[in-house]
Amino acid sequence: MPVEQAPYGALVLTRGFAGGVLVLLGGLVISTLPESTALMQIQLLRELRGAEAGRMAGLALVVTGLGLYAAAWLSLCRHVARAEGAAREDALALVRHATVVWSAPLVLAPPLFSRDGWSYAAQGVLAHFQVSPYEHGPGVLVGPVVQGVDPRWMETPAPYGPLPLIFGDVAAGFTGNPWLLAVGHRLLALVGLALLAWSLPRLAQWCGANPALSSAIVLCSPFMLANGVGGLHNDLLMVGLMAAALVVTAERGWAWGAALGGLAAAVKLPGGLVCIGVALMVLPAGADLMTRLRRYAAVGGVSVVALVLPGFAAGLGVGWVHALGVPGSVNVPLSLPTVLGGFLDLLARWLGTGLAPATFLELVRAVAQVAAVAFAARVALTWRAGSRAEAVRAVAAVMGALLLLSPVVHLWYFLWVVPFLAALRLPRLAATALLAGSVVAGLVAPLDSSLHGAYLAIVIGSMLVAGAVLLLLVTRAARERLEKIATAEWLPGPRLAGSDEAQASGRSAGRMRPVTSPSVMRPPSTPGAA
At 87-108, the pLDDT tens digits run 888 899 999 999 999 999 999 8
- CA distances (Å), origin 520, targets 202, 212, 218, 275: 11, 11, 20, 29
Domain extent for 160:
8-271+411-489
Residue 26 has pLDDT above 80, yes or no: yes
Which range among 227-231, 481-485, 501-505 shows the weakest confidence by mean pLDDT? 501-505
Amino acid 4: pLDDT: 47
Residue 226 has pLDDT above 90, yes or no: yes
> Residue 292 in contact with residue 380, Cβ under 8 Å?
yes
User: 3-class DSSP state for residue 286?
Assistant: coil
- pLDDT band, residue 376 (cuts 50/70/90): very high
240: Cα within 13 Å, side-chain hemisphere: 21
Amino acid 307: pLDDT: 95
- pLDDT band, residue 248 (cuts 50/70/90): very high
Residue 196 has pLDDT above 60, yes or no: yes
Reference 31, options 146, 136, 112, 148; nearest CA is: 112
* Domain presence at residue 349: no
Q: Give CA–CA dist 192/211, Å, rounded.
A: 18
For residues 36-53, average pLDDT: 87
For residues 47-54, average pLDDT: 87
* Domain presence at residue 59: yes
Amino acid 117: pLDDT: 92
What is the tens place of the pLDDT at every residue in 306-335?
Answer: 999 999 998 888 887 777 777 666 777 888
| 519 torsion bin: left (phi>0), alpha (psi -120 to 50), beta (else) | beta
Q: Give CA–CA dist 44/513, Å, rounded.
A: 66
* Domain presence at residue 504: no
* Domain presence at residue 267: yes
- Buried b vs exposed e over 175-195: b needs ≥16 C-beta within 10 Å? eebbbebbbbbbebbbebbbb
Say how many C-beta atoms besides its own lie within 10 A of residue 262's C-beta.
28
> Residue 450 in contact with residue 147, Cβ under 8 Å?
no
Reference 314, options 161, 166, 170, 172; nearest CA is: 166
Which range among 225-229, 400-404, 485-489 shows the weakest confidence by mean pLDDT? 485-489
Amino acid 375: pLDDT: 96
* Domain presence at residue 423: yes
What is the tens place of the pLDDT at every residue in 443-484?
Answer: 888 876 544 444 455 555 555 555 555 555 555 666 566 566
* Domain presence at residue 294: no
Amino acid 445: pLDDT: 86
> Tell me, what DSSP letter sits at residue 384?
P
Q: Give CA–CA dist 214/243, Å, rounded.
A: 13
Q: Give CA–CA dist 202/189, Å, rounded.
A: 21
> Residue 83 in contact with residue 91, Cβ under 8 Å?
yes
For 117-164, the DSSP string reads: HHHHHHHHHHHHTT--TTT--GGG--SGGGTTS-GGGTTSPP-S-HHH
* Domain presence at residue 375: no
Residue 340 has pLDDT above 50, yes or no: yes
Residue 160 has pLDDT above 60, yes or no: yes
* Domain presence at residue 69: yes
- pLDDT band, residue 51 (cuts 50/70/90): confident
**Domains in the chain: how many in total?**
1
What is the tens place of the pLDDT at every residue in 515-524?
Answer: 333 333 333 3
Amino acid 503: pLDDT: 42
Mean pLDDT of the chain: 84
Amino acid 319: pLDDT: 81
Share of the chain above pLDDT 90, in %: 54
